[in-house]
Structure 1
Amino acid sequence: MRLRTLIIGLGLLGNTLAWAQQSPQSKADKFFYEYSFEEAIAEYHKETAKGPLSLTQIRNLAESYEKMGNKNEALLLYKDLFQRDSTLSNFYVNKMLNLDLQTTGSEQQARQFLTSHPDVFTNEVKANALFNYEVRLEEPDADSQLRIFNIAANSAQLDFAPAFFGENLLFTSSRSQDTKDTYFPTGESFLDLFIGKVQADGSVTNAVPYSVVEDFRFHQATPYYASSLNKLFYIRSNEKNGRLAFDDNGKNALALGASDFQDQFTFLMRDLSTSFYYPFFDEDTEKLFFVAEFDDSFGGTDIYFVYTNNGQIMSAPVNLGPKINSPANEISPFIIDSSLYFASDVFYGYGGMDIYKSD
């Protein structure tokens, strides 16, 4: 398969879509777990007047500043946590280094950190970091440069996770619809599947909701069409009797399944406490790749695969390992010409979500 046009739309599902209804210990915690980050910041500062915040609360405050775009305050708090919390996970150490890159525009601090704290990250993470730092020093190949352009199908809301579907493009969007309620944490509509026509110049036009699959009030997202199976893989919110379904801790997670365009959505992976994202079906090996955060995760979300037979799962999930997965979030796996492409917000990138390739 040859890639004529690469259509990019990266959006990190995770904290955004896995709706948590926690039982917080303070008013500030309540705001944080309800994604009201501005109010959480104000309340955490009020609580500091009454006594010191716990390490978890300092981490929540750092994340709140990060979500509100105040990278400098978030960075200071993550650095403070690193000094004070010997159990701070590498996921948050990665956040600290990533924010340092974004605020200074220099990778020097991360390089020094790898030297001065050689035991924090695994050998695979350090090797990948040094390799990527060296790649940046190379002169780019003029023949390999991509042209990036916006498309008419984009909206003012979230538009991401594109997948080719014949001469069309399926994608995910939070644009408003009469059939969808507002998703409280984002203030926009619950996500849904859309379809647009791919034109000869790579543009996408006439985007409309994809009405062939079963109507659903809550999230439907990250589609992938497997032509050999004539099945559409995608994710959706866990629900029961028309209402969101929560686990014992008040979390609503995302399930992964498929549609054959005839029957209802068939669940393939479903757990009330674990969300699944970004399915990709490799036609050659019949492996179904996806993203999740299990107990064996190397950081945030990792990329996994399962063996299948005619689209039915035949094995336990297999983690792609530390050469691919990192202390950060890995998402959006896609294989073309025997190379794996994916996105990651690991600290040795350019900041935020970057696209990576592995042979």
Structure 2
Amino acid sequence: MKNNLILLFLFKVLVVFSQTGNKKADALFSKMSYVEAAKVYEKVIDQGNMSMPILKRAGDAYYFNTEMEKANKWYSKLVSEYPEEVSAEYIFRYLQTLEGKEDYVLAKKWMKIYAERAENKDDRAQNFSQEKITIEDILALPQQFMLQNLSINSSNSDFGPMFYKDQLVYATTVDSSYFKTDNYQWNDQPYLNLHLGKINPLKTDVSYLKRFSETINTKYHEAGIAFSPDEKTIYFTRNNYEKKLKRDDEGINHLKLYSAEAEINSDSTVTWKNVKDLPFNGINYSVGHPSVSKDGKKLYFVSDMPGSIGATDIFVVDILGDGKFSKPKNLGESINTSGREMFPYITEEKLYFASDGHLGLGALDVFESFYDEEIFQKPKNLGAPLNSNLDDFAYIVDEETQKGYVCSNRKSGKGDDDIYSFERIVCKQQIKGIVLSELSGLPLASATVKLYLNEKIIDSSETNISGEFDFLKQINCGENYKILASKNKYLPNEKEISVLQYSGETTTSIALKNATSKINTGIIFFDLDKSNIRQDAAVELNKVVYIMKRHPEMLIKIESHTDSRADDDYNLKLSNDRAKATKAYIVSQGIEENRILSAIGYGETRLLNDCENNVPCTKEQHDLNRRSEFIIVRRNK
């Protein structure tokens, strides 16, 4: 990413480097003239100087221009010549150059070394430790994107696209109107200006139209823009420049965010006026790469201002109107790392951004994070081919069509940073499953099952006669969801579920405990005035036997009940005889007698309805009271 403005944010690292002793090379390096500095450092090495500062600087001069193979050459010598002395930061840069060469096997080894060397001093150590997610996991992600290199790309830098009406605004070093050749010392390329392109009907390509605005473009850098929802305000990134460049005490010219207002001319063209730098800019730090929320109330941006976690962080402010903003708020450690987080793009549900602090395929990768009320979920790498072994960044998308644009300096491009159109083939899953009784393992019909994402209900279903449920809503692959099942007379139960990484179905099951602590059976029928076990009763009792064998520590009590259609004392004796017969049958099927703590008949003393003596009831109403119940006293944990 040779000409990308984000590299200007590295000044915090640069100013603490020690001098190498070579005045010419160090002077070029301190001016960020990395192309020329690299040549001088290599000459010094050829003359036999293999000191640690020289090897660091030689590698850095290429690393900061994302020439990973050349940087790898000198970092390799650095870690081999000074294995104990080299810092964790340089191990990190070395492993990134290995990824830049797509040597992921060796990179994984050095990721572990980096994690050990950095210990808890750097949150990137945890991200690169390979304990929760590995580089193989990212390489194995299903491909979701189809990319196409745009016609407007040149041999230099073209990046930072943003939607504007039915057009695309982007930054480029090629001035198609004026062909200016002023070069930037960092990489010996022209400065960046904003230009306008026309998007074709399929949104797969862009043709050049014109310079975006003469009032915004200057002879220095302009890039990284965002518009208010009504497109009457633009926010853009520029060098700290007012008639001349302004520098801090270290001689660094930082970036600032500016705004401008649209004025509609009589011919319907737009002139951008009233250019202002935003109040949270500073002379000693950089601010840039804006993104405005869809409701126009929040402005996200990148900075290394005080309060940053790493080299560059993503911040947010409230847009209060009349040129006023709230104090900047860091998005926190769920998003920001000790590395670089760049190029935020906010939609109604997701934040997209580029990072080298979260585990990726090399240099900057694009990540997405779902959010709700400014609580951001753990970012997810979007995988290849969107991400590559080099820098991938500045992702913007129309969530409805899943078409958008992304930037990369991958080798297959036309030049340095190129803009690519993409269409995301969205991976969708459906969750299906079954609700079971924890005791019997049998399916439960008419259970309610709810699907949650981030503690919000997004779908619900009811189990059929086979205990099966099916959520109709298609959901995103690879996400973590929660299901909650409930049913009358059962205790509700919830279960976390990780959806598969490819389109299709994710199946699961969830068990419910009986809230009454009873084993459910059908009606156990006895012949009139009899207590012997009939064949149909044995079928139901065998369910109890089956459950008790599955749960060998289960202890039960047997309770038998009658209806009121006989003498009270007679019913009491009859139910007691039936309880004893029920116990004897269960024991005869191999259940230890001591696991049945009691077998008692209660006659008509515990009716389930109002069908008492002399109360007219139907046969079906009386049958409800003719029952045997199996009360669980203790069960397996």
Where does residue 352 of structure 2 map in the other structure?
A: 341
Secondary structure of the equivalent of 2:153?
Answer: coil
Where does residue 136 of structure 1 map in the other structure?
A: 138
Where does residue 6 of structure 1 map in the other structure?
A: none
Where does residue 546 of structure 2 map in the other structure?
A: none
Distance 2:218 2:115 in 1: 51
- TM-superposed deviation, 1:135: 4.0
- TM-superposed deviation, 1:249: 1.8
Alignment of 1:155 with 2:148, yes or no, is no
Distance 1:179 1:59 in 2: 34
Secondary structure of the equivalent of 2:146?
Answer: coil
State the one-letter code of the partner of 1:275.
S
Distance 1:188 1:19 in 2: 19
Contact 2:91 2:114 in 1 (8 A): no
Where does residue 5 of structure 1 map in the other structure?
A: none
Match of 2:319 among 308, 327, 340: 308
Where does residue 165 of structure 2 map in the other structure?
A: 166
Contact 2:119 2:125 in 1 (8 A): no
| Count of residue pairs the alignment pairs up | 341
Q: Which has the larger displacement, 72-81 or 95-104?
A: 72-81
State the one-letter code of the partner of 1:266.
K
Contact 1:14 1:275 in 2 (8 A): no
Change (3 A) 1:294 1:270: closer
Secondary structure of the equivalent of 1:260?
Answer: strand
Contact 1:293 1:302 in 2 (8 A): yes
1:90-123 Cα offsets, whole Å, 9 max, x none, are 6544323212333423243145326644724556
Alignment of 1:265 with 2:275, yes or no, is yes
Structure 2 unaligned spans of 5+: 264-272, 371-637
Match of 2:5 among 13, 34, 50: 13
Contact 2:59 2:70 in 1 (8 A): no
Change (3 A) 1:108 1:179: closer
Secondary structure of the equivalent of 2:354?
Answer: strand
Contact 2:127 2:359 in 1 (8 A): no
- TM-superposed deviation, 1:214: 3.4
Secondary structure of the equivalent of 2:147?
Answer: coil
Change (3 A) 1:118 1:124: closer
Identical-residue share of aligned pairs (%): 22
Distance 1:315 1:81 in 2: 48
**Which structure is higher in RCO with an 8 Å CA cutoff and minimum separation 6?**
1
Distance 2:82 2:296 in 1: 44
Alignment of 1:221 with 2:213, yes or no, is no
Alignment of 1:232 with 2:234, yes or no, is yes
Match of 2:59 among 52, 59, 62: 62
- TM-superposed deviation, 1:15: 3.1
Distance 2:141 2:62 in 1: 36
Change (3 A) 1:333 1:246: same
Change (3 A) 1:347 1:83: farther
Secondary structure of the equivalent of 2:149?
Answer: coil
Contact 2:292 2:299 in 1 (8 A): yes
Structure whose CA Rg is larger: 2
Contact 1:251 1:272 in 2 (8 A): no
Distance 2:250 2:127 in 1: 38
Distance 2:233 2:149 in 1: 29
Where does residue 98 of structure 1 map in the other structure?
A: 96
- TM-superposed deviation, 1:82: 6.8
Where does residue 328 of structure 1 map in the other structure?
A: 339
1:290-332 Cα offsets, whole Å, 9 max, x none, are 1122344333222111222127343332222222122322111
Q: Which has the larger displacement, 74-83 or 203-212?
A: 74-83
Where does residue 365 of structure 2 map in the other structure?
A: 354
Write out aligned runs for 1:172-251 (5 A).
Answer: 172-176=171-175, 177-178=178-179, 181-202=182-203, 203-211=205-213, 213-228=215-230, 230-240=232-242, 242-251=243-252
Contact 2:196 2:212 in 1 (8 A): yes
Contact 2:238 2:257 in 1 (8 A): yes
Distance 2:256 2:337 in 1: 23
- TM-superposed deviation, 1:74: 3.2
**Root-mean-square deviation (Å):** 3.5
- TM-superposed deviation, 1:43: 5.6
State the one-letter code of the partner of 2:173.
S
Contact 2:171 2:195 in 1 (8 A): yes
What TM-score, normalized to structure 1?
0.81
Where does residue 73 of structure 1 map in the other structure?
A: 73
Distance 1:116 1:272 in 2: 37
- TM-superposed deviation, 1:232: 0.7
Contact 2:95 2:111 in 1 (8 A): no
Match of 1:318 among 314, 329, 335: 329
Change (3 A) 1:234 1:132: farther
State the one-letter code of the partner of 2:294.
E
Contact 2:161 2:171 in 1 (8 A): yes
- TM-superposed deviation, 1:272: 2.7
Distance 1:276 1:303 in 2: 10
Distance 1:238 1:305 in 2: 21
Distance 1:306 1:297 in 2: 15
Distance 1:42 1:324 in 2: 38
Distance 2:359 2:327 in 1: 31
1:36-78 Cα offsets, whole Å, 9 max, x none, are 23333136438975xx85x655532320243454133233255
Contact 2:127 2:357 in 1 (8 A): no
Contact 2:194 2:217 in 1 (8 A): no
State the one-letter code of the partner of 1:153.
I
Structure 1 unaligned spans of 5+: 1-8
State the one-letter code of the partner of 1:149.
Q
Contact 1:172 1:223 in 2 (8 A): no
Distance 1:39 1:122 in 2: 32
State the one-letter code of the partner of 1:62.
G
State the one-letter code of the partner of 2:224.
T
Where does residue 472 of structure 2 map in the other structure?
A: none
Where does residue 626 of structure 2 map in the other structure?
A: none
Distance 1:279 1:343 in 2: 13
Secondary structure of the equivalent of 2:360?
Answer: coil
Distance 2:337 2:223 in 1: 24
Distance 2:24 2:287 in 1: 30
Distance 2:247 2:336 in 1: 28
- TM-superposed deviation, 1:234: 0.4
- TM-superposed deviation, 1:155: 1.8
Distance 1:218 1:139 in 2: 40
Distance 2:2 2:72 in 1: 24
Contact 2:138 2:360 in 1 (8 A): no
Name the structure where strand makes up a greater proportion of residues.
2
State the one-letter code of the partner of 2:100.
Q
Distance 1:266 1:45 in 2: 47
Where does residue 28 of structure 2 map in the other structure?
A: 31
State the one-letter code of the partner of 1:32.
F
